[in-house]
Amino acid sequence: MHLLFAWRYFKAPKSTQAINWIARISVIAMAVGTAALILVLSVFNGFEGMVKSLYSSFYPDWRLMPAQGKVLTLTAAQLKSLQQVAGVEAVSLVVEERALLQAGENQALVTLKGVDTSYTSVSGVAQHLVSGEFAIGTATSPYLVLGAGVEAALSVLADRNLEPITVYLPKKTEGLQVDWAESIRVDTAQTAASFLIQQDFDDQYAITSLDFMREQLGLTAEEASSVELRVNPKANASEIRSQLQAIMSNQVKVEDRYEQNKTLYRVMRTERWIVYGVLSLILIVAAFTMIGALTMLVLEKQKDIQVLQALGANKKMVRRIFLTEGLLLSMLGSGIGMLLAYGLAWLQLTYHLIPLEGGSFLIDYYPVAIKAEDFFLVTGTVLVIAILASWIPAARAASHQISLREM
């Protein structure tokens, strides 16, 4: 019954034009707030998906890191056991160390990553080459695959460079080494290719042969900085973690992709909720206009309230009528806002209307990803705000006591 009365009040013309205008303003404000929330959340979804995709091209599904120090020991039996774990599709050994690369007078401080021949099976770097072919060489004839930023810093063309790159690496020594020349190993390597993924990787990394790195750093065939794995996405993560930990005991830390970039994902999630909270203020502002519209409607419908009370309507029914009226106003604005947001997001996805400045990413437009959960989240937020905003005028209407003499 209260819904019928609310719908009647909603569509019926008001005696005072100001009520109509305030109601329209509240609907428009609610539509703008809803559209802004969904669009911003969709942009965050787009950026989050793009960053995860780029990072997954460089970081493996799972990684085993030494629990202490910089080097872990992996026997042939342990390596075979890792390869036989259900769900593990590829295993690659990695040795990383900071190094100085020099080409003529140009230098670049990089993280030099020595990998084996299985590396292309656990990483997507080979799919992001912009020049040359992925090749790491051997211990005696190493090749370098440079990040695009490193390539630019050295002022070389990785696939055409004829002069070898000088590689400076720290030497594994016992105790404190005073003589600089005795603490550094110097060798050369040819460039083979360059990759372009994301600035964090392009400016910092160069990839070479695992055997070359072991020889330069004085590591044995069983020593590595980490073990990288590709895992079937349908595999049970907890079972894989427990099996990996059992094989390697307590000498390693087992990290999935989220744990490898925990800070990044945490920051993205925090920024998302902060922006969501700030933009929700638009809906709160819209709620104030709705309070004004409903308050004026209550004043206009005093005689109707008197009649309802005389016919036996209790406070609860009167309150529900105006609560429902507020929900109708907010849902109308929210619906318009959702349609507007969906349309604008579709236009951005199709025609790339808003460009993305800067060269840090591989695309030149703002990415957008529409998710159903964002619509549910915004709908829930609108409902909560609408109920709270409608409660004040609805409670006022319900508390209005009219005697038969006043009628």
In terms of domains, do 227 and 290 share one? no
CA 396, distance to chain mean position in Å, is 45
**Residue 148 belongs to some domain of the structure:** yes
187 shares a domain with 272: no
The separation between the first and the last C-alpha atoms of the chain, rounded to the nearest angstrom, is 23
Indicate if 101 and 175 belong to the same structural domain.
yes
Residue 47's H or E segment, with its range, is helix 17-58
Question: By mean pLDDT, which of 49-53, 96-100, 115-119, 120-124 is the weakest?
Answer: 49-53
Phi then psi for 220, rounded to 5 degrees? -85, 175
Query: Are 275 and 252 in the same domain?
Result: no
**Which of 198, 229, 260 is at the close of a domain?**
260
177 is a domain residue: yes
Mean pLDDT of 45-68: 92
The total domain count for the chain is 2
**406 within some domain:** no
Q: Are residues 137 and 272 in the same domain?
A: no
Q: Which amino acid is at 83?
A: Q
Strand partners, 254: 64
3-state DSSP call for residue 195?
strand
Identity of the residue numbered 81: S
Average pLDDT over residues 304-318: 74
- Verify that 64 and 52 share a domain, yes or no: no
Helix H or strand E segment including 380: helix 372-398
Instruction: Tell me the pLDDT tens digit for each residue of 81-109.
Output: 999 999 999 999 999 999 999 999 999 99
Round to whole Å and give the CA distance between 354 and 9.
Answer: 42
The pLDDT value given to residue 406: 47
Domain shared by 333 and 217, yes or no: no
Q: Any bridge partners for residue 198, and if so which? A: none
For residue 404, tell me if it sits in a domain: no
- Whether the pLDDT of residue 276 is over 70: the answer is yes
Q: Which two tokens stand for residue 197?
A: 């993924």
Q: How confident is the model at residue 407 (pLDDT cuts 50, 70, 90)?
A: very low
Q: Do 31 and 107 have their domain in common?
A: no
One domain, residues 318 and 366: yes
Q: Quick check: is 208 in a domain?
A: yes
Is 320 part of any domain? yes
**pLDDT (mean) for 73-88:** 95
- The whole-number pLDDT of residue 173 equals 59
DSSP structure string for 161-192: --SPEEEEEE---SS----HHHHEEEEEEEEE
Assigned domain for 216 exists:
yes
Mean pLDDT, residues 208-226 taken together: 96
Q: Residues 194-211: pLDDT tens digits?
A: 999 989 999 999 999 999
d(CA 299, CA 308) in angstroms, rounded, equals 15
Integer CA distances (angstroms), 382 to 97, 324, 332, in order: 52, 13, 11
- Of the candidates 231, 260, 289, which is a domain's last residue? 260
**DSSP H stretches of helix in 218-300:** 237-248, 257-260, 262-300
> What is residue 295's predicted lDDT score, i.e. its pLDDT?
85
Show the domain range for 22.
2-56+264-398
Same-domain status, 253 and 268:
no
pLDDT, mean of residues 154-183: 81
Q: Looking at the structure, do residues 286 and 311 belong to the same domain, yes or no?
A: yes
Reported as a pLDDT band with limits 50, 70 and 90, residue 308 is confident
Strands (E), 23-77: 62-66, 72-73
User: For residue range 364-404, what is the model confidence (pLDDT) as tens digits?
Assistant: 788 999 999 999 999 999 999 999 999 988 888 877 665 54
Half-sphere exposure of 123 (CA within 13 A, CB side): 25
pTM value is 0.80
Predicted local distance difference test score (pLDDT) of residue 404: 47
Q: Are residues 125 and 221 in the same domain?
A: yes
